[in-house]
Structure 1
Amino acid sequence: MALTFEQLRSDVADVLGEDPADIPADESLVDYGLDSIRLMTLVERWRRDHGVDVAVADLAEKPALEQWTVLLGAES
């Protein structure tokens, strides 16, 4: 199953305990409570469920959904 932008948003919202609609595409997710543990949780989920191969450090450098969409090759 391909990873989509909406799936990214939903998964991020899940680990942050937020509503997906409250997660902006263009703002730093760190400002919304994303930390290294939650980021590792997301990466493991995406590896398991979607076969994504990405380094946690690459996502940590650019912690916004619109940037992750490109890094992860997610569908818009």
Structure 2
Amino acid sequence: MTNDAAAVTDRDRFIQDVAEVMGVPVEELSTDTNLLDAGLDSVRIMQLVEKWRSEGHETVDPMMLAGDPVLESWLEVLCP
């Protein structure tokens, strides 16, 4: 798998994680979705942070996620 393919896979996985915790189909989310406006709350952000940290993304910062809740911003941090 190339790095580009891995990055796409990671992005897709993160989007799937967000959709799952929000209880919405992936198709309802776009990269410009403001996740707080779409119904994501602090408890669910913490669920995502715990999941991603357990998967090796130890530096995920819940304050950063809440401070810039647009999906593309999250993906830029999670999939550099």
Question: How high is the TM-score relative to the length of structure 2?
Answer: 0.81
CA distance in 1, matches of 2:35, 2:11: 14
Higher relative CO (Cα under 8 Å, sequence separation at least 6) belongs to 1
Distance, in Å, in 1 between the alignment partners of 2:40 and 2:17 is: 12
What is the root-mean-square deviation of aligned Cα atoms in Å? 1.9
Moved over 2 A (4+): none
- Within 5 Å, which residues of 2 pair with 1:31-50? 31-49=37-55
Higher Rg of the two aligned structures: 2
Give the unaligned 5+ runs of structure 1. none
- 1:5 and 2:11 are equivalent in the alignment: yes
Alignment TM-score, normalising by the size of structure 1: 0.85
Unpaired runs of at least 5, structure 2? 1-5
Deviations 1:35-56 (A, max 9, x none): 100000001000112x112210
Q: Give the length in aligned residue pairs.
A: 73
Determine what percentage of the aligned residue pairs are the same residue: 40
- The answer as to 2:48 corresponding to 1:68 is no
